[in-house]
Every structure is written in C-alpha cells, then in structure tokens.
A and B are shown apart, each in its own frame.
Chain A
Amino acid sequence: MNNSMRSFALHLFVLAILVVLFFTVSEYHSGNLARILVLSVYAMGYNLLFGYTGLLSLGHALFFASGMYGLGLAMQHLGTPAAPAMLVGLISAFVVSAVIGFLALRTSGVAFMIVTLMFAQAGYLTILLAGKYTRGDEGFVIPQADRAIGSIDLSQSDTRYFAALILFAVCFLFIGWLVQTRFGKTLVAIRENPERARMLGYDIQRHKLLAVIISGTLSGAAGAAYALLFGYAGATFSTVQYSIYPLLWVLLGGAGTTIGPLIGAIFMTYLIDISSEYTNAYMLIAGLALIFLTLFAPHGLAGVLRKKWLPWLP
C-alpha cells in the first residue's frame, strides 16, 4: 500500500469512527461532536494557510463571519431558503477572502498578521455599524422552521450531526487530496523555503492567493454551517477571539496535518468543557496545556503521531 492509499484509508477510517460515534455516545456528546465537526472545518481552512503554506493569519474570524452573515442575512432579510443561502455564504466568503488575500499578501511575516488582524477588526466594526441589518453585537436567531433543506429538518440532533459530518467529510477528503496534489506540495515548498520555490519557477504570490481563497472559503463554509445548524448569527464570531481559536486548535492538533484540526478541536473543546466543571480558571488550564504541548510536542498531537509512528501522515 503506498502512502497515498494509506492516507485515503486513514481518512475513511476517521469518517467511519465519526459515524459509529453518533450511535454509541450520549446525546450530549453527539451534540458536542456536531459542533466540533463544523469548527474543525474552520480549523482545516485555517490549517491550509498556516500549517501548509506558512502564513499566520490573525483575521480568519472575518472569513468565518462572512459565511455566517452571507447565509444569515440572506435568510433573514431576503427569505432565501437554506440551500441557496448556504451558497450565498460560500460566495460571500470567497469574495471576501479574495479581496483580503489580494491586499494582505502585499505584506508578509508579522505585517501579514497585523494586516489580517486589522481587516478582521474592520469587519467586526462593520457588523456592529450595520446594526439595522445585523443586530450588531446582539445578533439574530435563524428560525427553526427555516433551517431545513427540502424535507430535512437540520435542527434535529441526528440530521444536524450528519449534515455536519457530510460537510466535514467533503472538506476533510478535499484537503487530504489537495495537499497531495502538485499544488499542495508547492504550498509546502513555499512554507519551507519561499525563495527557493520562486527560483524553481513557481508563482508563489498566485499560490498564496489561491491558498487564502480556499482557506477563507472553507472557513466561511464552517461559519454558514454553524448559523444554519445552531440557529444563530452574531458579531461575537467575528471578534479576535474567534481568529485565535483555529490557531490554537491547529497548534494543539498538529499544524500541517490533515487530521490535526479535528484532534485539536476535540481536545480543546473537551479540555474547556471538563475543566470548567472544576474551576473558573479553565482558560488558564487551556493556556498551560498549550504551553506544555508547545514545549514537549511542538508539532502538535498529530505531529507526534507522524514523528513516532505514522511518517506518511498527510
């Protein structure tokens, strides 16, 4: 079995486990997992840019919110049904990421971080200032009756879970395929040594822009799915905190691995969920976990797997 087939088998195995989990864990945990799957898509989008391309963005919440508000506003104000509204969310995230990518990629390194952060902050303020339509910081509820595709009611626990799983599976397999393509390997080459990649004749600016667009659109898909499946769109999701979360999930799970975002999102969600039962300082525990992982497993949990047992891990 070659590495490509091993990788494909691993991805299918992960998806099979996620199917089995729905039927074996309690409703509380399957509900948590549905949310984690959506947020993992967000983290996968982030990982493509950070883990594979080496671009550290502090403004991904803007892309997440673009999808969320693209869908939410279309449903709220135009009465768009859920499926086309999802498409509006994707297009919205695509356009925003293309524009931000075009502008922000004129910078690099720390400047790229600052510029993406500033764009995200501008997006957050825009949502607040457009309060007439967005209800600003308060946000708005997407009525349960509207959250359906055809006859499938996405507000039910089983349909919500499998809708989240389908979105996750599509993105997971897509990323798994993408990073093994010539394009994906070029992104890694850019991450490792951009000058060398340029000397070899690659148009690194075009590759980076495409990476931002794909990353932003995946993040937007997660934002739109969150609003659709959990019934709420709000400005909180465009704050800097929500730009930091995918960075943490990816760092914990393993940057530059396809499975890392899922592991990181599960780890972080349950770390907070369990530790908050014992102390109000649960974010301190999350912070300590991050420090220890950075010190002792700098490539994240999946990075450890890749280093010790699965060198072919994509």
Chain B
Amino acid sequence: MTDSSNVPPKKSATDKSRRTALKSIAAGAGVVAASGTLPGLLGHAQAQSAEPIRIGFQVHRTGIGAAYGRWYDRTTEAVVKRINEEGGINGRPIEIVAEDDGTDPKRGAEVVEKFANQHKCDLAFGTLFSHVVFGSAPRAGELKIPYFVVSEGHHVASGKLNRYTLQPGITDVKSQVEAMGPFIANNLGKKVTMIFPDFAFGHDHRDYFTAAFENQGGTILEKIAIPPTETSFTKYFPKIPRDTEVIYHVMVGPAVLTFVKELGEFFGPSKPEIFGFIDSLEAVDLASPGLEFLEGTYFWEGMPRYAQADQSEFDKTYRAAVGVDENGASVSDPKDVSTYAHMFGCWETLYVVKAGMEASGYKGPDDRQKLIEAVEAMSDMPHSNEHPQGAKRFNGKTHQTFGHQYISKVDNGKLVLAHTTSIEDTLYEDEVDYTKQAF
C-alpha cells in the first residue's frame, strides 16, 4: 500500500513554472473579478463551451441545520444568478445540483458520492455543520472532487481533512474566537466566566478563547459546561463567581431563548457585561419575547445582520440580491430572519470558485487539480461585491481564509457595530501544509 496522502509531490521545473504562472494568473483574475468593472469579460474571452459548470450543492434542508440551509440556498441562488448574468465562468453558466444532506454525516457522504459519480458535477460545495463536513470530506478526497465547504469549523485548517477540501469563503472558529480576546480584555473586563455547551463546538470556544484571553492578561474565573440535553439553566448560574466582570456565552439550539430568559431572571438589572456569539441567535428575531435582557450586551457577528449607518455599497448590493431587508430578515417576510453571519460564505465561495476556474482555464473534471492549485495560489481578496463581508486573506497552505470579525452591541433591540477586528487579529500559526500532499 502506498501512502498517497502524505507524500510530498516531486517538484519538476514544469511544476514550478506552472505554479508561478498560476499565482500570477490568480492574482490578476482576483483583481479583475473583485473589481467588478469588467463583468464577464474574462469569462467570455475564455469561453470554451456553453455546457454548464455543474456544482453540487450539499445543503441542510432537513435536520438541525435546516434554518441555515434555507438561507444558504437563497444566497447560493442569488450568487449563481448574478454570476450567470455576468457571463458565467469562462463563458459557461453555473448549474446548481442541490441535494439535502439531512444535516447527517452518513447522508452527507452519500451526497458527495452522488455529485461525483451520478450527477457528474465539477465540484461539491456548501454545508455548514462540522460533523457533516467530517463525514463527507474523506469521500471527496477519495473521489478526487474539490469540496468547497462553508462551515466555519477549524477542521480544514487543523490538517485533519485533505487536499481536495477547502474553505475559502468563511473564516474558521479558531480565528473568530481568538480575535475576540483583545476586545473583551480592553473594553469589557479582565475576569470572564464562560458558559458553553458541553460538546465539540463549546469545547473549541473554551480552549481557543481561554488561550487568547490569557494572552491579553485576562483570567477565566469559571468554565461552566452545559450538558447538551439540558433544557433549564437556572441551576448552573450560582456557579458564576461574584467577581465576574464578563460572561462569555455560546449556547446554541432551541433552548437558547430559555437560557437568555433565565439568565435575565437570575441577574435582574445588575448584570455584568455579557458577550456572546450570534450563532446562538442566527435566524432568531432579536425582538422575540424573553430576549429583552440582551439589551446592552455584545455579540460576535460574522457579518452585521442590521444594515449599519456606514453600510458599504457591497453590503447593499449583496443584501438586495439575496432579498434581505435592513433588519436582516427576508424582504418578503420580516419574521423570517436570516443567518446573516454565515451565509455570505456561499456567495464569496462561489466567487472564489469562479476566480479559480478562470485562473486555471478550467474546462472539465480533468482540470480539478489545476483548479485547486489556482485557489491555493490566491491570497488577498479586496472588500468588493465578490467579498461583501470584507477583505479576505486566503492561506493556500491551510486551505483556510481569514478576514475581519465584527462585534456588535444590542441597542434598542438592534445590533449596532461596535468594533471591527483587523485581519491580523485573526491569524494563527499554520497547522498543516496541504500543498505538500499529493493529489
């Protein structure tokens, strides 16, 4: 048996020159694609065939991720419409082949197989929940189909997956959490109590934030892990030390409303500073009964849900295209709140795919490796209509993008942007170099 996944590829002069060329092309394509001034020109110039590029969209339509899936679906539909109106990719339209993964790792793997072997897709894309990515990525690697995930898990950059799996459109939880340390330590307080769900997502927050916060001279007074089946939280609150200056919470799932309500009842009007991740309240209306207690508290947001006073033109364009109003809800139903902090990843990922295919002159599945090399060669992506969340810096070695993080304060029931981190705040040391793995 040969270990094909960890053997560094032999470098020939041809390889080297091709790689250098790809880097130059990718940089150029990135600027052109990002500028938005010549929509479709590059695509038409490189047109090889009118056959659509088939992109398998692995989406949570059922299961616990369905709310995210609904908005990932809408965002994908909007960006595909826009790219196709701009001339498609290399002159070819995108055709989305969507399959429900049921938010289940077994079904997720089956769906990837279906994209590769039955639908004959050029690549697979989508999905949020980490366990579905973990279950699916091995099959993507074995089937040699590029798998662009929009998951925000640290799984890609941790080196646990493979060369065919990339996350170029959304930042990962490690960079998000670590970037919160300086803001909390400098603005909210130095003594933190963490409340988190007692499973992998919560453990990531516990571990990454503790390290980042202690680097800022802060202290974690208590780490309160809540069992995943818990439905009432009052009994945990007496564990919060009295000298706590900041509560850091990342509760997710349907019990979050109860959690916030009970936290409010416990503290009454004299609460400490409170900081949370909006993951808790994605697709949840902040005006929901019981959430009044969140007034004056802070949230990490992947992208500000409410249109801000200094809203960028790019956010306006993106918001209008997806059909989201200024409060982050559907334009057709103000009660249908979006998953605004995450779904931009679908938009940005497909623009990265477009830039990668154009840079590599992608024609069909035989060029999948060239596509991956072209994406690996990318780096800075400016704030633009293609990257409405903000500028990005893609790390080709770890297959992970890095970008600005947003911290908002609840003010009169709306999230108002209070701080934007730099990209540098989010960087950490590489844990893998996928480019050394053979295809």
Contact = CB atoms under 8 A, between A and B. Distances in A.
A236 B162 contact: no
Contact of A138 (B4, B6, B117, B153): B153
Most buried by B among A145, A150, A151: A145
A51 to B, nearest CB: 23
A135 B198 CA distance: 11
Nearest to A269: B110
Interface residues of B, number: 43
A235 B201 CA distance: 13
Contact of B3 (A26, A145, A272): A145
Contacts of A153: 1-2
Contacts of B203: 131-132, 136
A197 to B, nearest CB: 38
B1 A150 contact: yes
B118 A28 contact: yes
Interface stretch (B32-40, B83-91, B130-138, B303-311): B130-138
B270 interface: no
B113 A131 contact: no
Contacts of B200: 131, 135-138
A3 interface: no
Interface stretch (B100-108, B367-375, B383-391, B422-430): B100-108
B142 A155 contact: yes
A28 B113 contact: yes
B354 interface: no
A225 B369 CA distance: 30
Given A129-B198, A145-B5, A234 B100 contact: no
Interface string A75-115: 00000000000000000000000000000000000000000
Interface in A107-165: 125, 128-129, 131-132, 135-145, 148, 150-153, 155-157
Nearest to A128: B199
Interface in B117-165: 117-118, 130-131, 134-135, 137-139, 141-142, 153, 155, 160-162
Contacts of B130: 137-138
Contacts of A31: 113, 117
Nearest to B69: A280
B224 to A, nearest CB: 15
B138 A144 contact: yes
Given A138-B200, A230-B138, A276-B100, A128 B228 contact: yes
A201 to B, nearest CB: 45
Contacts of A280: 61-62, 100
B160 A236 contact: no
A167 B200 CA distance: 32
Interface of B: 1-6, 61-62, 99-100, 104-107, 109-110, 113-114, 116-118, 130-131, 134-135, 137-139, 141-142, 153, 155, 160-162, 198-201, 203, 227-229
Interface of A: 26-28, 31-32, 35, 125, 128-129, 131-132, 135-145, 148, 150-153, 155-157, 230-232, 234-237, 241, 272-273, 276-277, 280, 282-283
Given A28-B116, A138-B153, A139-B105, 14 more contacts: A28-B118, A125-B227, A128-B198, A129-B198, A131-B198, A131-B199, A131-B200, A139-B135, A141-B161, A144-B4, A144-B141, A148-B1, A156-B142, A236-B105
30 contacts: A26-B117, A28-B118, A125-B227, A128-B198, A131-B198, A137-B131, A137-B200, A138-B131, A138-B155, A139-B105, A140-B160, A144-B5, A144-B142, A145-B1, A151-B1, A153-B2, A157-B142, A230-B109, A230-B138, A232-B105, A232-B134, A232-B135, A236-B104, A236-B105, A272-B107, A273-B110, A273-B114, A276-B100, A280-B61, A280-B100
The 4 closest A-B pairs by CB, nearest first: A231-B138, A28-B117, A138-B200, A145-B3
